[in-house]
Amino acid sequence: MQTQRVLDEFKNEPFTDYSKPENAEAMRAAIEKVRGELGREHTCLVNGERISIDAKFQSYNPAKKDEVVGVFSEVDDDLSIVENAIDAATEAFKTWRFVPAAERAEYLFRIADIMRQRKHELSAWMVFEVSKTWAEADGDTAEAIDFMEFYGREMIRWSREQPITKIAGEDNSLEYIPLGVGAIIPPWNFPLAIMSGMAMAAVVAGNTVVLKPSSDSPTIAAKFIEIVEEVGLPPGVVNFVTGGPPTGEAMVTSPKTRFISFTGSKGVGLHINEEAAKARPGQIWIKRVVAEMGGKDAIVVADDADLDSAAVGIVQAAYGFQGQKCSACSRLIVDEKVHNELLAKVVALTEQLNVGQPTEGDTNVAAVINKRAFDTTLQYINQGVEEGGEIVTGGTGDDSQGYFILPTIIDNVQPGDTIEQEEIFAPVLAVIKARDYDHALEIANGTEFGLTGAVYSASEERLERARREFHVGNLYLNRKCTGALVGVHPFGGFNMSGTDSKAGGREYLLQFMQGKSVSRKV
């Protein structure tokens, strides 16, 4: 293998400034290149071999609902492919686990290099496949690069001598070894960053994996798999299978998978957790489950807050990527004394948002992921109104071309209402009035979730109270609740938001390893 590079300290990948003509030009060129590659078939990868079957499914452009982005083998129709992938990973694990950490990390650094070279192209695939605007797609690609650079460095750190107490007469050490074969089941909403981060965190720790992308975003995963092949990872280390829930289920229930790394909805996460807990014939371990799930994230605005700054943060966090981030602000909890003033500002900014095709550089809000999301969002909006909410702006959708829903604000929502409790995952903001700051914090903590949250206040004491009492994995003070950066804001939530695994944080890799303590008498 190539000589290892001298590592700098980890730094976040800078975002692209599309106001610069050369960057906008590069993105337009990438979009045209990708447009010319739409509708192609992408195969599975099992033990380094490309595999396809007759049964197929398509992924579509949510903003142009009849435009096919990619064609894939429907592995649900032939689950023996999953079995073969798990067998290949089991075999590859026998040697991959002993490859030195620095060498494993080097593969991630090379993946990051290629992602950097193909940045706009990767982003353009996300524009077509999941309807990300340019800036959102660029953020996703940058985060994917960050995960490679960060986890590579982290693995090198974990492979060094670990601090333990020394005693006379023994030579003692603690080392972290990998677990085995992992089932990697990511969501569609960060189709490059979360997908590649989950897969490669496990791989750099010495595990081998079977990766099943979401059926809504398999093409971007296929593009990542091309890079995995290019850097020459040994066959069987990363296996790629495309399918729906039955494929995922087969990965979860196999007695040969040692751990499951899942990011997605609460319902599926709980189901996976339950299935993984059953020891099946031939299974000799308790499976480990890393599950990152949904949120019902709130921004609290106190009566002493800078309302202009709050309004900007609220609109960015509520409508960035159409509200389809697990961190998105879906509840605005505002002190009733400043409710009218703040709401006027939020509505004004919301109505300035440009809703349109994500291929256009000036679009702020594009389509939601699919017809199901479109239909359930409109149902939630209706339910919000039936339960007493008032639509202040938006409230409608148009699916003649793609699945577009206007950025929606529903005022007069009460704590406990359906749209105040359930994750909608769309551009819908529920506004709830609080009597005072105490009441606001109580409402904020009043769901089963605990992912992100933000508080806007000028008071040190109130911010300090939020630090102690607002029960979320990622708390932001006087800033928006989206936009976590790798290394800077380790990300993951409490309660039904998941196992708080803190992606992009220093302890993340430990979940894919186990500590082995070795004592030698001297």
Q: Write out the catalytic residue numbers.
A: 292, 326
CA distance 17 to 120: 12
C-alpha–C-alpha distance, residues 437 and 300, integer Å: 9
Contacts of 54 (CB under 8 A, 6+ apart): none
Q: Taking a C-beta distance cutoff of 8 angstroms, is the pair 465, 420 a contact?
A: no
Q: What is the dihedral of CA 407, 409, 415, 416, to 10 degrees?
A: -50
Structure tokens given for 494: 């409490």
Tell me which amino acid residue 120 is. Answer: H
| CB-nearer residue toward ligand NAD: 245 or 446 | 245
Nearer to ligand NAD, 221 or 443 (CB): 221
Nearer to ligand NAD, 114 or 137 (CB): 137
The secondary element (H helix, E strand) that includes residue 99 is none
Looking at this protein, which amino acid is placed at residue 117?
Q
Residue 386 tokens, joined: 């039936």
Least spacing, CB of residue 369 vs ligand NAD, in Å:
7
Helix (H, G, I), strand (E, B) or coil at 195: helix
Using alpha carbons, select from 197, 273, 211, 278 the residue that is nearest to residue 496.
273
Structure tokens, 108: 């991630």
| Shortest reach from residue 386's CB to ligand NAD, in Å | 23
Nearer to ligand NAD, 83 or 336 (CB): 83
Q: In what order do the strands lie in the sheet containing 64-73?
A: 40-42, 64-73, 56-61
Least distance CB 216 / ligand NAD (angstroms) = 7
Compute the half-sphere exposure of residue 161: CA atoms within 13 Å on the CB side of its CA.
7
The bridge status of strand 64-73 relative to strand 40-42 is: parallel
Smallest gap from Cβ 9 to ligand NAD, in A, equals 25
Quick one: 154 or 216, whose CB is closer to ligand NAD?
216
Cα–Cα distance for residue pair 69/62, rounded to 1 Å: 10
Beta carbon nearer to ligand NAD, 206 or 248: 248
Of 319 and 491, nearer to ligand NAD (C-beta) is 491
Strands 474-477, 56-61: pairing kind: unpaired
Task: Give the rounded distance of the alpha carbon of 475 from its chain centre.
Answer: 17
Look at residues 128, 142, 145 and name the one whose alpha carbon lies nearest to residue 216.
128
What's the min distance (Å) between Cβ of 424 and ligand NAD? 10
CB of 518 to ligand NAD, least distance (A): 35
Residue 498: DSSP 8-state: B
| Closer residue to ligand NAD, CB minimum distance, 253 or 350 | 253
Position of minimal CB gap to ligand NAD: 248
Q: Which residues bind ligand NAD (CB under 6 A)?
A: 185-190, 194, 212, 214-215, 244-245, 248-249, 252, 263-265, 268, 271-272, 292-295, 326, 423, 425, 451, 491-493, 497-498
Q: How far is the CB of 495 from ligand NAD (least distance, A)?
A: 11
Q: How far is the CB of 501 from ligand NAD (least distance, A)?
A: 8
Candidates 220, 204, 212, 210; CA nearest to 186 is: 212
Among 179, 178, 196, which Cα is nearest to 187's?
196
Q: What count of residues does the chain have?
A: 522
What's the start-to-end Cα distance of the chain, in Å?
36
